[in-house]
Chains A and B, each alone.
Chain A
C-alpha cells in the first residue's frame, strides 16, 4: 500500500519527532511511504483569518503537491489539517481546474490514527508505555473530521498505559490558529482552564492527535513552569513496540 506523507507545516517547522514516529509506524505496517516535497500547508492560517484570495494559491499548491505521487492514501499527523484537506472538496467545488482533483484528494486523505484504525484495521499497534496519561481530543479532529473513536481505541491497547479521562474534554484548548495570537487575552483564559483540568487528572503524560493544540498547551505549561510530558499519539504508538503484540480487527484478542 502506497502512502504519501502529509507532514503539515507545523511538523515540518517544529516537530520532526512526530513526523518520524508516524513514518516508522506506517512502515512497520507495510506501507510504502513517499514524501511529496512541494507540499507546504493546508491553508488554514490565512483562510481562517479571512484572506481567501491569497489562500487559493495555497490550496492549489497543496493539491498539486499531494496528488503528484501515485499513492493510494495521503496520511497526516494532525486532525485539524486533515479535516481541512477534506474540506477542499467544498472549498474548491466551483474551481473548474481543481474541483475534481481536490475531491479525489480529499477522499483518500486520513489522519494518522484514523488511518491505522479504519484502513489498516490495527487494534493493537504493539506499543508499550508505562505511564498514566490523559488525552486531549482536539475540536477539529472530533467535530470536523468526526473521528471520535480511533485514537481512544488505539491508546486503550497500549501495554501498561493508563489513560484517565480529561474533565471538560469537550472544551477548546484556546489555540484556534491565529486566534491564539490575535486574541491572547481570551486564549490565555481558555488554555489556563485546560492546563488546570489536565493537572487535575494527575497524569504525567498528555497525548493528542493534533500537534498545534499540543504546542499551545505545552507552551502554557512551560510558561507556568508546570511539569508534563507531551506526546503525539504517533510517538506513543511507536514506543517500545513488540511486533508480537500487534493485533488487527479481524483477529481475536487471545491469539
Chain B
C-alpha cells in the first residue's frame, strides 16, 4: 500500500538493493524476453501497426486537447444514468469523498479490483482507518501483495513481478493454504477464498481503463473477471479514475482496447472486456448506487506544457517491458508506484522534482520506450525535457560536475578549445595512462586508463577508457597528410600527362 512514492531511501541504495535481489532481476528479464516475442506477434496479427499507433495517438491527443469538454459530457451522461460524479482536486479530496460514501452506506466489507490510481491516493490504508471495515484486493497479484503485509507493486500491469512461487506459497500458508507451490493450485485457493468475500461485500471499488464520454459508462479489461464481480455484486460501486482516462465513444474504446491488450500482455484481447454503469431497470446485477471519482492530483499541471503528451498514456506498461534500466533496477529502484519510462516522466510531474529528481537521469535514452508506446508518447524526449527543466531552469546541480558539463559545452562549441583537447589529450592523459596489454588491444591503440578523477570516474569505475590518440596520429592529422599525398599524386599525374 502506498502513495505515489514507495520509498524514502536514496536512489543509490534502492539500485543496490535491486541488484542484490537476483530473483527479481531474473524474473523481470524473463518477462521482458517473453514479451519481446509475444507483443510484436500480437501486433503483427492486427496488421498495419504503425497506422494503429497514429490513430491511437490522434485519439488520445484529441481527448487531452478537449479534456474539459469530454469530462463534462461524460459526467452529464453518468448522471443521466442515475450515477454520481465527483471531481477530486487532490488525493485527500478523493479519499475523503470515498470514505464518506462508505460511511453513508454503512459499508464494512469492501472489495476492490486492481487500480493504480487508488494506490496513488493510498485508498486502502485510509479506508482501513474506518471502524470495523475490511478491504480486500481481488486481483490475484494485488491480493498477494495485500496478504504480504501490503507490499508495494513493482509493475503497473504485473504488480508481483518481483515475487516467486515459493514466496507466494508462504504468504498463502498464513491464510491456511496447505498445497504445493504450483501456480494453478495456488490460484484455485485464492479464487475460493475471494469468491466468498464477493458475496458478502457491500461496497465495490474499481479503477477505470477508459471512460466512454457519450455513454456515461466505464470500460474495464481484466484477465481474471474479478473486476466484473466487484461491479456486479455489491450494491454500491465507486469508480476511481485519472482525469485523462476518457475516450469520446465506443468506437475509440474499441481501438484503444485492441492496442492496450496487445501492448500490455501480447494478447489480442483480455479474457474480460466490460462496459458498465449503474444497474438499469431491466438488469438483475450491477450497482444500485454508482459513483465516479475523477482525480486530478497534479495531472492538470501537465496540460498546455511540453509534458502534455504524458497524459496520453493508457497504462499498458509496454515501456516498462522494453526498458533496459527497468530490467535491472525493477519497480523498487524507481521508488514510485509508476516505474519505468512512463514513471520517470510522470512521477516528477505528479510528485515534484525534489522527490523524483533522479528518475529522468536513470535512462540511457535508447528510445525503446518511445518506439513501443502504442500512443506514441515521445518518452525519451520528455526525459530530456525534464533534465532541461532541472539543469537550465531550476539549476539544481551545484556540484563540480555542473562546472565540468558547462566546460564541455564551451569545448564542443569553440574550435580553438577543441583543438587544444585534440592536441593535448594524449600527453594530458599520460599520468593516468597504462601501456600494458588489454584484451581489446586492436581497439585501444594508444593505451588505456583504468582510473580517472571526477566525472570520468563514473566511466573508469566500470570499464577501461581508451587513451586519446597522439596529436600527430589523430584523424585530422592523418586526413591532412592523406589530402596532401593525394594532391601531390594528382599533380604528378597532371605533370606527367
Q: Which residues of A contact B (CB under 8 A)?
A: 5, 7, 9, 11-20, 23, 35, 37-38, 40-41, 43, 45-55, 57-58, 60-61, 65, 139-140, 143-144, 168, 170-172, 174-191, 193, 214-216, 218-231
Contacts and interface: CB of A to CB of B under 8 A. Distances in A.
B391 interface: yes
Contact of A227 (B439, B462, B473, B482): B439
Interface in B463-488: 463-466, 468-469, 473-479, 482-483
A163 B445 CA distance: 25
28 contacts: A12-B422, A18-B475, A23-B482, A35-B479, A41-B418, A46-B408, A54-B410, A60-B413, A61-B413, A61-B414, A140-B367, A143-B366, A170-B36, A174-B324, A177-B364, A181-B456, A182-B401, A185-B12, A187-B364, A188-B461, A215-B443, A218-B440, A218-B443, A218-B464, A220-B462, A221-B439, A228-B440, A231-B442
Interface residues of B, number: 76
A45 B412 contact: yes
B368 interface: yes
Interface residues of B, dominant DSSP:
helix
A156 to B, nearest CB: 23
B390 A139 contact: no
B418 A57 contact: no
Nearest to B455: A181
A192 B406 CA distance: 31
B313 interface: no
A46 B412 contact: yes
B362 interface: yes
B387 A48 contact: yes
Nearest to A172: B366
Contacts, number: 237
Given A40-B413, A41-B418, A48-B384, 16 more contacts: A9-B412, A14-B468, A15-B443, A16-B478, A23-B479, A51-B409, A55-B413, A57-B414, A139-B367, A168-B33, A172-B366, A183-B361, A185-B16, A222-B438, A229-B442, A229-B443
A177 B391 contact: no
Interface string B9-50: 000100110010000000000000100100000000000000
A19 to B, nearest CB: 4
A129 to B, nearest CB: 13
Nearest to A219: B463
B476 A35 contact: yes
Contact of A49 (B16, B370, B391): B391
A16 B15 contact: no
A15 B469 CA distance: 7
Nearest to B367: A143
User: Which of B364, B388, B389, B442 has most chain A Cβ within 10 Å?
Assistant: B364
B371 A143 contact: yes
B324 A222 contact: no
A18 B469 CA distance: 12
